[in-house]
Structure 1
Amino acid sequence: MCLIVFDWQPDAEVSLRLAANRDEFHQRPTRALHRWSDADLIGGRDLLAGGTWLAATASRVAALTNVRENQANVRESLTQTPPGAPSRGELVRQALTADDPARWLENLVAQGARQYAGFNLLVMTGGRLWALHHSRRETVCRRLDPGLHGLSNASLDTPWPKLLRARNAMQQALSTQDWRAEMWRSLRDTRPAPDSELPDTGIGRDRERFLSPLFIEGEEYGTRATTLVTVSAGSTALEEQQFGPGGVPTGNIVRLRANAADQS
């Protein structure tokens, strides 16, 4: 998952509204949004390593993005997984199944994150939402105050052009009658950022430009899924559309809901 924007209002009837695009190599095997048979959660699944980029239960949500650090090799700069490193996608499952998420995050910051390549991890449970950032420079976790935030492949709210555009789109969507309809449209934005606004993560200007749209239309690498999440009291609703090479939709939008009553 390479772009996430979310509105966090823990005291409101709807506590979390989240919209995300997952970018990945199209050849990487993936299963779309579904109810897992080996864990009490809903999410897509990476069939290569077994983890996920975003998943939820009735009371928890977790989502992951990779951190893009300066790399000389383009493919390495996208995957950021050195030989022998465990899959970062497993962190989402652990966050959703940990007995004490706060303690689990503390342990991850203290030592557990070191074995992974760079990542951002969002974890929501009850009235709490944390953002954990791990890179070669630092590993930090903070509990978020209410408000509108965004994540791409740097730390929380780093003002990359795609993140600013997505966050502005979410802000406008929240003022309409149906924020979801607006975000389905906005997250299909394929416009690249102006060269003058591109970040420099060591992959070259052409690659930075290719990765700069909210929605990446690539034949080998691009946006694989758009996911919307709505969390209200005792219920979490997920909606997902999958895409193939060139940004072509594959299948219909999948809609699933986790209810607290179903897990009691």
Structure 2
Amino acid sequence: MCTLLLACRAHPRYPLVLLANRDEYYERPTAQASFWEDAPQVFGGRDLLHGGTWLGITTTARIAALTNYRDPADLVRHGLSRGRLVSGFLKGTGDSEAYLECLREAAGPFGGYNLLVGTPERLSCYSSKTDRTSILEPGIHGLSNRLLDTPWPKVVRGKKALEQALLAADPDLEELFAILSDRTRPPDDQLPDTGVGLELERLLSPIFIESERYGTRSCTVLLLDRDGEARFVERSFEGGRQSEAAVTMDWSGVLAVG
């Protein structure tokens, strides 16, 4: 997962709006979002190589998502799949603070990452690079391959577009997906310098990435309304074809959304 845009308690009807793009090599085997056989309470896509995921929700109102932290040094390390961090929280029952503390203590051989975990009323974002956790405050947030709200052009552009879309009393689903489909490349003087070279910085700069071997594999919109109903819609792209998976859950009997 490489781009997350979130609106936390920033809309009168939807206390949580989450937009997410997963960027990955096209050859990596992937299952479209569904309920998992080995964890029936979890709904999300699946990395068929290692069994983890990049984004998921549960019937008990748990949410988790991941972005990698871009660091060329991580490319030569051999570690565990970071998707396990997401699936571990979704399959668990403890609160987010306890889960993140266990990650710190275990300090497994993972490349750099940002992990978003929690419930719709309280989301925490942990960065392995800083070993710090932030509680998401009300407002519009963006997370790519650096830290929460680092003002990369794609993050700034996505946050502004989401803020504009949420001016509507009932945000349009297609408008939200259009934000995730933005292929705009910023000028070179606005690109970050993460040590991967200018050509790769250019390729990775849009919200929606396309190249010969690597790019955006799926776009997801999660809408949670004030009555506790969650709508999760994922659009996947494989070999020039688009497919869609969706679910609606009623969490009103599970938690009170402020």
Does TM, scored on the shorter chain, surpass 0.5? yes
Q: Which runs of 5+ in 1 are unaligned?
A: none
The answer to whether the 8 A contact 1:122-1:132 is kept is: yes
The answer to whether the 8 A contact 2:80-2:108 is kept is: no
The correspondence of residues 214-253 of structure 1 with structure 2, limited to 5 A, is 214-232=207-225, 233-244=227-238, 248=240, 250-253=241-244
Q: 1:255 to 1:81 in 2, by over 3 A?
A: farther
Instruction: Tell me the equivalent position of 1:141.
Output: 133
1:205 aligns with 2:207: no
- Structure 1 residue 262, shift from structure 2 partner: 10
Cα separation, 2, equivalents of 1:158 and 1:239: 26
Cα separation, 2, equivalents of 1:188 and 1:10: 22
Cα separation, 1, equivalents of 2:33 and 2:21: 13
Corresponding residue SS for 1:51: coil
Cα separation, 1, equivalents of 2:219 and 2:229: 20
Q: 1:262 to 1:32 in 2, by over 3 A?
A: farther
Query: Once structures 1 and 2 are overlaid, which stretch shifts more, 211-220 or 252-261?
Result: 252-261
Instruction: Tell me the equivalent position of 2:35.
Output: 35
- Spell out, residue by residue over 1:202-255, the C-alpha distance to the aligned partner (whole angstroms, 9 max, x if none): 11101100110111111200000000011234432210111135xx3x243221
Instruction: Tell me the equivalent position of 2:189.
Output: 196
- Structure 1 residue 259, shift from structure 2 partner: 3.2
Q: 1:126 to 1:26 in 2, by over 3 A?
A: closer
- Spell out, residue by residue over 1:12-71, the C-alpha distance to the aligned partner (whole angstroms, 9 max, x if none): 653210011110000000001111111111000000010000000131211001000144
State the AA in 2 paired with 1:17: V
Instruction: Tell me the equivalent position of 1:8.
Output: 8
Structure 1 vs Structure 2 CA RMSD: 2.1
State the AA in 1 paired with 2:177: W
Q: Which runs of 5+ in 2 are unaligned?
A: none
1:151 aligns with 2:143: yes
- Structure 1 residue 81, shift from structure 2 partner: 7.2
- Spell out, residue by residue over 1:128-176, the C-alpha distance to the aligned partner (whole angstroms, 9 max, x if none): 11001112xx211121211110100000000111111111111111112
TM-score with structure 1 length normalisation? 0.87
Instruction: Work out the percentage of aligned pairs sharing the same amino acid.
Output: 40
Corresponding residue SS for 1:196: helix
Corresponding residue SS for 1:253: strand
Q: 1:10 to 1:191 in 2, by over 3 A?
A: closer
TM-score with structure 2 length normalisation? 0.89
